[in-house]
Amino acid sequence: MKKIINDPADVVAESLRGLALAHGDVLRVQEDPALVIRADAPVEGKVAVISGGGSGHEPLHGGFVGTGMLHAAVPGAVFTSPTPDAVEAAVAATAGPAGALLIVKNYTGDVLNFETAAELAEAEGTPVRSVVIDDDVAVKDSTYTAGRRGVGGTVLLEKIAGAAAERGDSLDDVEALARKVIGQVRSIGVALTAPTVPHAGTPSFELADDEIEFGIGIHGEPGRERIPLESADALVARLITAVVEDLPFGSGDEVLLFTNSMGGTPLVELYLAHGIAEKLLGERGITVARRLVGPYITSLEMQGISLTLLKLDDELTALWDAPVNTPALRWGI
């Protein structure tokens, strides 16, 4: 294992200290429990939007803390859910009378721990709602989940819900909007190599040089099938077909296309894949009205990509375009 680390047990804490030094203009980091919090939190009169989960998926979630997106992120150990007390502490640090919306990826530990935290916070008098995102079309059940996994759509959900909270929407309205996004977003990914968790020291799975895992999860969970390596044209067509036919998306739809690196895929390959995806969607009569390309929800150093499609309307487009100022997304400020 070759990684730029010290003690594997200290990876997350040391990374968070570096995040705070690099982006102290928009966020601060609290230790014990570990939290990433908006620099100006709590924001009076506005709903706090909070998410979190295991580390190793950076910039998700801490890199999306800031104006127009998350008020707080709760990082667990690598690929490990944060504890309920940490999530409750994030609510206490950021939420006022307007309440908090918890955005939870559909993994068993995340769902249970965020639900427990919501109950604890409500017992203290803070209105809390939770939404669970399950946008992965690859498999129904997986190593970490009952039901579909929460993957790339989480990034889009956090941006849109954060923008709604920023403009002053009520908790009811932010929750309803989040559920709308969840109903209209779909994702799938593919892996060329496995990630190596620092404390494990060995790859999560083995792939031959001529194999890829189609439908991989963000923790290295098994996908839909293991297939021979194929051309970019064939692979992206396979991904697009799986996503488009699930919702389904159809001719006349306007979408946001998010082409994501799983951590180890270089931009030259990512832009190549994105270009193919746009072409294939155009052939189906689907208009790509907004785009996001880059490593925004990763799996450590895994080589691979994921594609996410969100069906847009005027409101969702406006909220996506709204100003945002975080370490990973910045525009309109």
List the catalytic residues. Answer: 57, 219
Strands 254-261 and 287-294: parallel
CB 53 within 8 A of CB 105: yes
- Give 83's DSSP letter: P
Angstrom CA distances, 312 to 6, 282, 283, 291, stand at 44, 15, 18, 12
Q: Angle at which helices 153-166 and 171-184 pack, to 10 degrees?
A: 150
Cα–Cα–Cα angle for 143, 63, 321, rounded to 5 degrees: 105
Angstrom CA distances, 123 to 88, 120, 126, stand at 11, 5, 7
Cα–Cα–Cα angle for 190, 58, 121, rounded to 5 degrees: 115
CB 297 within 8 A of CB 172: no
CB 307 within 8 A of CB 258: yes
45: left (phi over 0), alpha (psi -120 to 50) or beta: left
* 307: enclosing H helix or E strand: strand 304-311
Question: Could you tell me which of 325, 327, 309, 237 has the C-alpha nearest to residue 273?
Answer: 237
